[in-house]
Chain A
Amino acid sequence: MARITLRVNGATQSVDADPDTPLLYVLRDDLGLHGPKFGCGLGQCGACTVHLEGEAVRSCSVPVSAVAGKKVTTLEGLGSTAKPHPLQQAFIDEQAVQCGYCINGMIMTSAALLRKNGKPSEEQIRAALAGNLCRCGTHQRITAAVRRAALAA
């Protein structure tokens, strides 16, 4: 066990954890942030995506010791039901959810995309999300939501 200090969603947090614990479990179980989801633990599906220093990363595959002192943002850090982020609002407006288990990864990956490319084409959105899996078949609404958020920005 080690005491590790993180900067999550703008707040400094200290947790006691094995240094090799994947960041995902620390976020979900120690910090109660349930936006990121466990999908595969293998970095294959994207359900656990968070931002690390602004870059989309798979939190299931990043040991917590590697993010000590770095800036982590989760879905909760983007916005809330009371004050949603423009992407979250776009997903609501497009009703771009079925079961919703993948949606954390879709929003976090799209948010990272829009920071680099504010006006992505449909093809660019699909390419950016190609590493994120959705099993319900919500793809068309998800890309529509990302386009809507880009237009609103």
Chain B
Amino acid sequence: MRDDRRHFLKTAGALVVSFSTGATAWARSAPGAITPSKTVNKEALDAWLAIGRDNSITVYSGKVDLGTGTRTALAQIAAEELDVAFDRVEMVMGDTGTTPDQWLTGANLTIAQGGSELRRAAASARAALIERAAQRLGAAPADLMVDDGVVRVKGDPSRHASYGELIERGFEIKVDSKAALKKAADYRIVGRNIPRVDIPGKVTGEWTYVHDFRLPGMLHARVIRSPIFGARVSSVDDRGARAVAGFVQTVRKGDFLAVVAKTEWAAIKASRAIGVQWGEGTRLPDKGTVFQTWRARPVAKTEATQKAGDAPAALAQAVRRVKASYEFSVQTHASLGPSCAVAQFKEGQLTVWSASQATHSMQTELAGITGLPPASIRLVYLEGAGCYGRNGHEDATADAAVIAQAIGKPVRVQWMREDETARAPKSPPRAMDFEAGLDAQGNVIAWNADFWIALNHIVAFKPLDFPLLAATEMGQPKPGNWVGFLFQNAGMGYTVPNIRVETHHVAETFFRSAHLRSPGRIENSFANEGFMDELAHAAGADPAEFRLRNLKDARAEAVIRAAMKLAGWQTRVGINPAAGSGSVVRGRGISYTRYNNAITYVAAVAEVEVNRDSGAVRVTRLCIGHDCGQMINPDGVANQVQGGALQTVSRTLMEEVQWTPERVTSVDWVTYPIARFTDLPKVDIELIDRPGEPAWGVGEPTAVVIPGAIANAIFDATGARLRSVPFTPEKVKAALAAAPARA
């Protein structure tokens, strides 16, 4: 780790951001202030960048690195536009005291939105520094060049001034939305596989995750939550907890209950020793009929998500009609590390070190819970375990804030495994119905689809107001679903003349619901691509050729052909004639999606083995074609593509939250299993680079195409259609029994 960042992490504890060398005066904190006296106004250039006299560059990013490598990729973007060496750039991420609010980190937007905002700021900075150098050196801007942060006069390089000399008190200008951007042909840092800056620290134990952050005099807390779903506290008897050596105190605010101790182990023992009587819970629906219940729930609104021509009329004229329904079960983020936060409340000021993907939003959410003004609350981002959406990080952040305020001492809260698996937010269930019509030539002439999706309360680029557990327990109910933009990719991406796609927004979910990696797109694409495969079969077409026939987009075709080529795709109609004759049969399937029907293109071919006796499915290989436009760091893209693919194999084959009417029974890795090394396939990837094209996100798109590709491969192997994720052995056996006998 470089000295500057280490210095920041150390000094962050004292609420001071300063630079070890050449700090600009305004970046220093006033004594006792909750935040350093630095602007975080997005329009001000000084919100984004600080330059030290030694030419060190500090970038302030409201977007955070959730373990995806964006700390490195964003630094590449900044270094490129500024014309400085990559190693000069240090990133400060997600600190509400020093970074601009760029909205939450998610929705595949860190590079596309966050990176382009930062790029614009860096280009503005370079232009401003050139302007100052022109004055100082007595030369026209056009006669100047920049070499690693030193501005020189072309043809007379002895006349020069460094950024550090030119910066003086800061920029004190606005970001120029029209600042000229560097051309892709001139890139020297963007597009290169620069090794991630966090990895050396992470493989040696030197990296500071939020779990590792410590304050002097810090205590440890554990929160006690009902195992019975929705139950409130009837009575508490903490005599057992008091008997634990190291116990400090119990904190109770309404139904919010926590124990505080001098050590983690004492806090855990106290949390197990405390006596709590829980009241009646709110009953969960029968799990076996959850999708019927879901479809029958009150719908808040119905939207025409996609419309073309007259689908009902075209259906009536179809030579062949195909109908099917699809489902996607409730899943959870299941982060490997239970969520954690550290908080300090001192002299009316609250500081929380948090792994939240939405620290700026948490500032106002915590204000609501603590009664403090937002200006007295600072969140400092430190990485947690990967979250893949809103896991328990935000809840743990609120827990730590409430406890710190109650006890007036620094406190660290870490959730236990059961808290993360059972009580962190869940993805909502999903049901999808299709009917399509083909003409005599096998062309799709009508596509009619209905999606039952959870109503969403997220407004893009507005603060969130999530039903955090602590808020609810303290008697501050909030509207329910922060599930992301679930309508995305309900609309299909093929050139069908008559389309009617409606989304029915179910008003309330069963669980506290939040976005989980590729919210909406993964479920919608699974269903659209599974159904598209059914139409290919009905049309007597090869599934890949059928897709290509119904696309008019060269970049879409390119990712499909790339995946086909990697897989050695064999064109055929119907079930694999070489699937095998024993218990284990083999097949391959394809799936394609353009993320949001607007950005990253991705196609996957899955190869599977299906055990017809046990119903077990094994994915043996995945071949991915991927086009996200301009790649910032191709190896970082590959890492995300592989990760999205492998995580989704797990979700597709085995993941489903378990519950009884009384409680969530998925509480650990035995009751919510995920795929192991021995379960996972090889992933082969072709990344199509598009230098100069807009840079789109890569964290989510690959996940979207995996369930469909696996379902379609199972069909190729067996003739059985899997229309409900996850594809458990029971469902596979049922589908095999329902499938037409194989020739």
Contacts and interface: CB of A to CB of B under 8 A. Distances in A.
B67 interface: yes
Contact of A95 (B195, B201, B263, B648): B195
Nearest to B682: A140
A132 B669 CA distance: 11
A81 B203 CA distance: 8
A25 B202 contact: no
- Most-contacted residue by chain B among A40, A129, A142, A143 (CB, 10 A): A40
A78 B203 CA distance: 10
Contacts of A40: 338, 417, 668-669
A100 interface: yes
Interface stretch (B170-178, B204-212, B366-374, B489-497): B204-212
A25 B416 CA distance: 13
Nearest to B635: A95
A100 to B, nearest CB: 4
Contacts of A98: 67-69, 386, 639-640, 643
Contacts of A35: 204-205
Contact of A33 (B205, B246, B264, B338): B205
Contact of A29 (B69, B264, B636): B264
A130 B676 contact: yes
Interface in A86-103: 88, 91-92, 95, 97-103
A91 B417 contact: no
Contacts of B643: 98, 136-138
Contacts of A135: 334-336, 385-386, 388, 647, 674
A95 B383 contact: no
A76 interface: yes
A104 B211 CA distance: 14
Given A126-B677, A127-B678, A95 B669 contact: no
Consensus secondary structure, chain A interface: loop
Given A38-B211, A99-B66, A80 B206 contact: yes
B264 A129 contact: no
Interface in A8-41: 17-18, 20-22, 25, 28-29, 32-41
B645 interface: yes
Nearest to B205: A35
B676 A137 contact: no
Interface residues of A, number: 62
Interface in A78-124: 78-81, 84, 88, 91-92, 95, 97-104, 107
A42 B200 contact: no
B337 interface: yes
Given A25-B264, A34-B208, A92-B195, A102 B668 contact: no
B265 A22 contact: yes
Contacts of A45: 336, 669
A47 interface: yes
A141 interface: yes
Contacts of B199: 91-92, 95, 97, 100
Interface string B700-743: 00000000000000000000000000000000000000000000
A28 B212 CA distance: 8
B209 A81 contact: no
Contacts of A127: 677-678
B204 A75 contact: yes
B209 A34 contact: yes
A38 B386 contact: no
A79 B205 CA distance: 9
A105 B533 CA distance: 41
B554 interface: no
B686 interface: no
A134 interface: yes
A88 B202 CA distance: 9
Contact of B645 (A92, A95, A103, A137): A137
B336 A47 contact: yes
A130 B514 CA distance: 30
Nearest to B337: A101
A128 B645 CA distance: 22
A39 to B, nearest CB: 5
B644 interface: yes
Contacts of A20: 265
A84 B200 contact: yes
Interface in B188-224: 195-196, 198-209, 211-212, 214, 220
Contacts of A37: 209, 211, 337
Interface string B627-668: 000000001100110111111101000000000000000001
A139 B220 CA distance: 33
Nearest to B685: A140
A133 interface: yes
Contacts of B567: none
B668 A44 contact: yes
Given A92-B195, A130-B676, A100 B202 contact: yes
A151 to B, nearest CB: 18
A34 B198 CA distance: 15
Interface string B671-684: 00010111010110
Contacts of A76: 204-206
Interface of A: 1, 17-18, 20-22, 25, 28-29, 32-42, 44-45, 47, 74-76, 78-81, 84, 88, 91-92, 95, 97-104, 107, 125-127, 129-143
8 closest cross-chain pairs (CB), A and B: A99-B67, A35-B205, A137-B646, A99-B386, A100-B202, A137-B643, A101-B385, A34-B212
Given A44-B669, A133-B674, 6 more contacts: A37-B337, A39-B338, A44-B417, A98-B68, A125-B677, A136-B386
18 contacts: A32-B214, A35-B205, A37-B337, A38-B337, A40-B669, A44-B417, A78-B204, A81-B1, A95-B195, A97-B203, A98-B386, A100-B202, A100-B203, A107-B203, A137-B643, A138-B642, A140-B682, A140-B683
